Each structure stands twice: as structure tokens, then as C-alpha cells.
Structure 1
Amino acid sequence: MTAVPSHPSGSALRERMIEDMSMRGFTEATRRDYIRCVKAFAAFIGRSPDMATAEDLRRFQLHQTRVGMQAPSINSSVSALRFFFTVTIDRPDLSRRLTLIHQPRRLPLVLSVEEVVRLLEAAHRARSTRLPSAQPMAPDCGCRRSWRSR
């Protein structure tokens, strides 16, 4: 077994990360996304990601928030970087510094009175023009129409 150098080149790190993801059954799309995220992090800090510090990670997440990156995109980067630091370079101390961003729940759409009326009218029209019900066939197929039809 060959020893892994303490600071492998960028392409060697990339290959190692791809191998680690392949062994774990990551899809091609996930592998591509994770590599893209680690590459963006390396570009941000201006050096190889295996030389990163906890402060680099904090600044990167702050940068992502400041440029208006949405929570799902930030969380995707967090997952990629956690994998890189925990699995690929075995530095779980750094991966613990990464925080997932809470994605706010969106309020449900509130329909106007006119929209509710149109919706109910459409349902009424659909009900009056639907195909004959399959309920009469239910006993023949071994299904119950209700709990009382035992």
C-alpha cells in the first residue's frame, strides 16, 4: 500500500475525492457537484483546500451568505466540504466548523375569494362529467368500500 503524501497536488486530491465518493456509491451528479464546491472553496481561499483553516471555512460561509446564496446551495457546499475534510483528507476537526443553514419555511399561498369560487366550480364540473365510479366493482376485486361493508 502506498503512503499518501501529506500535501498531494490538486489533481491528486481531486482523484482521491472522486475515488472516495465512487466507493460510497455517489451518483455522477453528486460527485460533479461536490468537486465543484471544493473547487470554489479552493478558489476563494487561494490555495489548496487541504491547507485550509477553520477561519477560512468561516469566511467562506460568510461570503456565501453575503453574496445572496440560498440555503440549499450553501448546505450543498457544507455537505461537500464535510465529506472532503472528514473522508478525503481525514480532518474531521475542520468539518465540525461547518454549519448548515436553516431554510425558512414559505408561507402557503392564500387564494382570493374569486380563485376559491373558480376552484370549486371547476371541481363541481369535473365531478358531474367524470367517468362512472369504480366503487361498484370494489367487492369483486377484494376491496372494501367502507369499514361497515364487512
Structure 2
Amino acid sequence: MTLLRERMQHDMLIRNLAENTQTSYLLQVSSFARHFRRSPELLGPEEIRAWLVHLREERKLAPASLGPTIGALRFLYRVTLKRPWSDEDFPLPKKPFRLPVVLSLEEIITFFGSIASLKQRTILMTAYAAGLRVSEVVHLKVTDIDSQRMVIRVNQGKGHKDRYVMLSPRLLEILRLYWHDAHPRDWLFPGDIPGQPITRSAVALACRVARQRSGIQKPITPHSLRHAFATHLLESGTDVRRIQLLMGHRALSTTARYLKVATSTVCATTSPFDLLPHPEPLQPPPSPPEYF
């Protein structure tokens, strides 16, 4: 490990950057340095510009995919190397706004019915019933399920924040059934490696298999269940602010995007087409005369 890499790691640690962000930033800077075969300390704006052009033209990365690269280099030069950095020259690309694809209640039922494994079904049901991120559900511990207060404790979710979410009575029944079958001790959903929780990739694989078996054409990932949780709460009349707290969103605007897909919002207004008078029924064309 070079001194520069170690210093950048310490800078990210001091600023409490997420572990995934730290890993991504180090990977981006390493790729940048390997491309030019020199330390980033010897590289400057011209090399950064050439690297971004290379990623776009040679590696065919989409503009939005350059965000992690620009973020990593900006942190390296501005924070670790204390060099001038121009956001005007290297702006973060705007991410395209895409609405989530939401499963209906009927599709949720069909999807869960297509999961053969009790453990996999319990994991994905927990993700939906509590609106958890996949990283949050795989790191649940047995002690996080508080049946006395009917809450689930989420330890150090995104942004290193703790929060509580509701414990559905129906989910509690399923968790008890799963516990009597698997008898987990520490991690609620242990993985194949002793002492470690199930991996996110294993949950994603279970999700893909269940989608194929269900015959549902919509894309389904573990995060789709979180989208469905928020949307279905909105459609049942739950306040947006309360959903924000349950989801662990920092900004209310993040939660408010579900207003754009909830049927209670989209379908609540009458289309002007329905206000038009009903036209007279179309008369069938006259039959041609018969000559034989």
C-alpha cells in the first residue's frame, strides 16, 4: 500500500464515508493511476480530462456512470492532496430521473407464492413488510426483532443511522415459523460461511429465481419490494412524512417521488376524456346490393 493510498483511506475514514463509497473511490483512483502508469500526485487536470474522455469514448461508459470517477478524483485532489479543483471543468453528471417499477398487491402475492425455500421467502417477506434495503435485511440479528414493542431495529442503515420500523403481526408469525425451523443464534439469516450473514448476492439470486417461476414480466429485485412497500403505504393513505421515517430517507423529496407512481395520486384525477359526451353509436356501413 502506498503512502498516498493510506492517506486517502484515512481521510475517508475521518469523514465517515460509507464503506462501499471508500471501496469505490480507491478502485477508481487505482484505475486512473494504472492507466497513466504514474502516481496521481504527478497527474493533473489534463490527465483527468483525458481519462474521462477515455472512459466515454473507449470504454463506452454512460455519462451517469462517470459520477463515481469524478467523485473519487475530486476527493483525492481537493481533500487528500489539497490541490485546486474546478467543479466547472469536471461537473458531476446529472442522473436521469427514472420512476420505479411497482408491483401490485396481486403480483406480490404471486411472487411470494413462487419461493420454495422457507428461509428465502422469509427474507424477502421481511424486506417487503418492513421496507428494508437488502443490506439492512441481511444484517438483521435475532435480537433486532422486538415482539414486545412490535418493532424491528435497523442498526446502522444507510448513512450510519439507526431506526425502528414496524413489525407486522403476520410477519412475526412467519419469523417464528422460520426460527423454529432454522434456529438462528446471532444473525437472523446466517450465510454459508460460519459466523457471517447471508450475502446480498444470494438474496438477489433467490429473487431472480422466484421471478422466473412466478411468470411476472416486470423486473424484480430485492429493492423492488422496498419500492412496493412505500407505494402501497401511500395508496392506503399513509402520510408521506411517516413513510419517510420508516424508509430512513434523509430528504422528504426522496420519499415524495412515490407520489408519482401511487395510483391514489395518478388515478385520483378524472381524465378530461371521461367528461366528453358519449358519441352516437357508429352505424354499420350499408350492405352492397346483391346481383345474384
Give 1:80's aligned residue: 72
How far did residue 95 of structure 1 move?
6.5
The partner residue of 2:90 within 61, 82, 98 is 98
Structure 2: runs of 5+ lacking an equivalent: 107-292
How far did residue 14 of structure 1 move?
0.5
The partner residue of 1:25 within 13, 16, 22 is 16
Asked if structure 2 preserves the Cα contact closer than 8 Å seen for 1:35 and 1:80, the reply is yes
The partner residue of 1:62 within 28, 44, 53 is 53
More strand by share: 2
How far did residue 65 of structure 1 move?
0.8
1:38 and 2:39 correspond: no
Whole-angstrom CA distance in 1 between matches of 2:88 and 2:12: 20
Q: Structure 1 pair 108/94, CA: closer, same or farther in 2 (3 Å)? A: closer
How far did residue 29 of structure 1 move?
1.1
Q: Secondary structure at the match of 2:17?
A: coil
How far did residue 107 of structure 1 move?
9.2
Runs of 4 or more, structure 1, over 3 Å off, are 93-97, 102-109
How far did residue 90 of structure 1 move?
0.4
1:71 and 2:80 correspond: no
Identity of counterpart residues, as a percentage? Answer: 33
Q: Secondary structure at the match of 1:92?
A: coil
Q: Secondary structure at the match of 1:22?
A: helix
Whole-angstrom CA distance in 2 between matches of 1:26 and 1:37: 15
Whole-angstrom CA distance in 1 between matches of 2:25 and 2:88: 18
Alignment coverage as a number of residue pairs: 103
Q: Structure 1 pair 43/106, CA: closer, same or farther in 2 (3 Å)? A: same
Cα RMSD, aligned residues only: 2.6
Whole-angstrom CA distance in 1 between matches of 2:100 and 2:6: 44
How far did residue 25 of structure 1 move?
0.4
Q: Relative contact order (C-alpha < 8 Å, sep 6+): which is higher?
A: 1
Q: Structure 1 pair 83/45, CA: closer, same or farther in 2 (3 Å)? A: same
Asked if structure 2 preserves the Cα contact closer than 8 Å seen for 1:57 and 1:97, the reply is no
- The residue type paired with residue 14 of structure 1 is R
Whole-angstrom CA distance in 2 between matches of 1:50 and 1:38: 11
Asked if structure 2 preserves the Cα contact closer than 8 Å seen for 1:53 and 1:94, the reply is no
Whole-angstrom CA distance in 2 between matches of 1:104 and 1:36: 24
Give 1:48's aligned residue: 39
Whole-angstrom CA distance in 1 between matches of 2:7 and 2:88: 21
How far did residue 73 of structure 1 move?
2.4
Asked if structure 2 preserves the Cα contact closer than 8 Å seen for 1:85 and 1:94, the reply is no
Asked if structure 1 preserves the Cα contact closer than 8 Å seen for 2:32 and 2:51, the reply is yes
Q: Secondary structure at the match of 1:26?
A: coil
TM-score by length of 2: 0.32
Structure 1: runs of 5+ lacking an equivalent: 1-9, 110-118, 123-150
Whole-angstrom CA distance in 2 between matches of 1:79 and 1:102: 13
Asked if structure 1 preserves the Cα contact closer than 8 Å seen for 2:64 and 2:94, the reply is no
Q: Secondary structure at the match of 2:92?
A: coil
How far did residue 28 of structure 1 move?
1.5
